[in-house]
Amino acid sequence: MSISIWMILKANFYSLFCWYKNNKWLLISILIWPYLMSFVILAMGILYGNLESFKERLNIANPVLYILATSAIAMSSVGIIDAVASFTIYHRWIGTLPYLVLAPVKTYKILLFSSIPESIISITLSIVAVIPAVMYFEGLLGIAKIIMVLLIVYMGMAPLLGLSILIASFALGVRGEENIASSLSPFILMISGVFYPIEVLPRVLQYVSTVMPTRYVIEATKILATYAIPEAKLLFTILYLLAILTIGYNSISALTLKSIEKWARRRGGI
């Protein structure tokens, strides 16, 4: 009996539900993490500068909302990269990879769609975690904005999935246990403007950042945090760019995964 994409998604949502149900401390740590990250960024900022100059330099109206939102985005980005790119390595470690591949469906489909639920849950948990703080600082308007951010992050997830699948394909091909994704995550976050404004990065990295989906998600969050209506046009430009990256990355990754899957089966990578 062949299985549908829906069944793959459903099975993986189920395993995640059980994972969090049986491992409540993990859930709690995910919900606390954006606050810890924001606290560190704010504390460092206040120690070496002040919030007013931060507002001026980044041209944002509410630095707290901005930092909380970017922290949540950074976490979701790491979550997506971890969920998708580390997927094959993780399942090879725990020995479940052969049994996933043995599902009666094309291997690239199982590898592609099995990691989507974790990406969705990772994003949702990260964003939901900051809702109490946003509610406190901004009230209902803040909630509306954070829902907007969530939607933008979901959109940003699509090209990031493609990029992560490219990394995952490579991991499937090589028989070693190197966790490529873990090494790449900090670099991706840096060139997306999570740690420093993109303008201060070397020119080469600025070029690389133009093809990095997370950069546009951060930019969009920045616009939302300014309350500036005239900038809404720019928001749409960002969404268009995300759409282009989605098509580009996912087309390349689908083609790559198919051929790498056969290569891995030839080399004994599964």
Residues in touch with another protein (CB under 8 A):
1-3, 7-8, 10-11, 14-15, 18-19, 22-23, 94-96, 98-106, 110, 262, 265-268, 270
Residue 96 has φ and ψ, to the nearest 5°, of -90, -10
- Nearer to another protein by Cβ, of 202 and 268: the residue is 268
| Lookup: tokens for 191 | 């060139």
Q: How far is the CB of 19 from another protein (least distance, A)?
A: 6
Cβ at position 270, least distance to another protein in Å: 5
What SS3 state is found at 95?
A: coil
**Cα-based distances in Å from 14 to 7, 72, 91:** 10, 24, 17
The Cα-based distances of 42 to 36, 48, 130, 136 in angstroms read 10, 10, 15, 17
CB neighbours of residue 217 within 10 Å: 30
Measured from the CB atom, is 104 or 230 closer to another protein?
104
Closest CA to 252 of 152, 169, 154: 169
Taking the complex as a whole, the smallest distance from the CB of residue 105 to another protein amounts, in Å, to 6
State in angstroms the smallest separation of the CB of 260 from another protein: 13
What is the closest distance, in whole angstroms, from the C-beta atom of residue 75 to another protein in the complex? 21
Q: Which is nearer to another protein, 94 or 140 (CB)?
A: 94
Output 107 or 214, the one with its CB closest to another protein.
Answer: 107
Nearer to another protein, 35 or 170 (CB): 170
**Would you tell me how many other CB atoms lie within 10 Å of the CB of residue 252?**
15
